[in-house]
Amino acid sequence: MNAFPFRIDAKHGAARATTFTLPHGEVKTPLYMPVGTQGAVRGVSPLHLADTGTQILLANTYHLGQRPGEAIVEKAGGLHKFMAVDMPMLTDSGGFQVFSLDKTVTEEGVTFAYEVDGNKTFLSPERSMDIQQKLGADIAMVFDECVAYGTGKDYATASVDRTARWEQRSKAAHQREDQALFGIVQGGFWKDLRERSAAQITDIGFDGYAVGGLSVGEGLQTMCEVLDYTVPHLPEERPRYLMGVGRPQDLVEGVARGIDMFDCVIQTRHARSGVVYTSTGRLRLTDRDYRRDFYPIDTSCTCYTCRTFSRAYLHHLFRVGEILGMTLAAVHNIAWFHQFMDRMRTSIQDGTFEQFRAQTHLVYPEKAAMATPRDEGDEPAACAPPPKYKKRR
């Protein structure tokens, strides 16, 4: 393990602002990680990514192990050089991607068919660690089992214990000294199983701790309940990461319960359909209302898109099916969420977090929320067709 420097800069209740240092740079929390599942943030170049304020990027072991394969990435000098990204990176273990597939789970690992070409594939703690060490991200994640929402308690109990054994094997197989290793707490939606998993995983000991198995259809209230009886059992002196969560209301409630790190794909996925986030709520740039709107997406945003282009221009790009519109919208969404997290950090430091939290729910009420997708790898890269307009009467 790599016990990297970590400090708590400020607290407001359970919410906290922290700083830690990784081989490729210092990061400050609370933070959101853009998702580069296939070794790229979809539609956004590294040049644009650097301008968004991104501190740390996520890539996926499952997908990269299949294509192009970890041997090619290693030969290229590791994921940072392969992607031409000089910032901290985290690789997921592949456990979440596998759970939704037809598979056979044994004590040794998981056998499944890769959904792209049907190739029979086996993934185990040792195999996941081998791939991640060759990819060379700053943080690797242990291999775990994420159970589906609605799974029975008997299976969930067996899964929690198997996950603990898999995470112990992950730690034993992980030998790269310049790469941190995070454990993952599972346990479905049962308080006793979450506490059991947290005790097992913290007893093994890791550089950071993630809460997995959420954002699988349970809703914000249930997610918050699970966090309420999980996070207090995680070490105070290490980072805490809530996996696959990224709506504004999810982020602020996670931080309110002591979470430091998040990742999600909504910022780029929603951008590809013209949905952008602002300080006054979501906008859909394909709406006819923006045809003659020469304001930026958000007048308070400092991103490249808002500094340079109008809503009218972006509306035009989506209208004609120009892929640049998706790129510019994605650049804005990523940058806006980083600015959102920066403001949240400031509110923790100056004691105004509860006001920030209330304002977030006012602007982004749960009843108006869109579903949170978990992975970029399950969607084709095709450009969306231009929207059709209704004729005026």
Q: Kind and range of the H or E element at 248?
A: helix 248-256
Beta-bridge mates of residue 211: 185, 242
Question: Closest by alpha carbon to 30, among 14, 41, 44?
Answer: 14
Active-site annotation holder among 92, 144, 250, 375:
92
Between vectors from CA 138 to CA 343 and to CA 25, what angle results, nearest 5°?
50
Active-site annotation holder among 138, 144, 260, 263:
263
Question: Closest by alpha carbon to 226, among 260, 182, 188, 197?
Answer: 188
8 A C-beta contact, residue 241 and residue 230: no
8 A C-beta contact, residue 29 and residue 17: yes
String of b and e for 163-175 (b: at least 16 CB within 10 Å)? bbebbbbbbebbe
Q: Is 263 a catalytic residue?
A: yes
Query: What residues have CB less than 8 Å from 287, skipping those under 6 apart?
Result: 315
Number of C-alpha atoms within 13 angstroms, CB side, residue 326? 21
8 A C-beta contact, residue 82 and residue 46: no
Which sign, positive or negative, has the C-alpha torsion 142, 145, 149, 150?
negative
Q: Is 298 a catalytic residue?
A: no
Residue 18 CA: distances (Å) to CA of 31, 87, 252, 349: 10, 18, 15, 10
Q: How far apart are CA 313 and CA 246, in angstroms?
A: 27
Please tell me whether residue 352 adopts helix, strand or coil conformation.
coil
Between vectors from CA 244 to CA 241 and to CA 246, what angle results, nearest 5°?
90
Q: How far apart are CA 242 and CA 361, in angstroms?
A: 19
Which are the catalytic amino acids? Answer: 92, 263
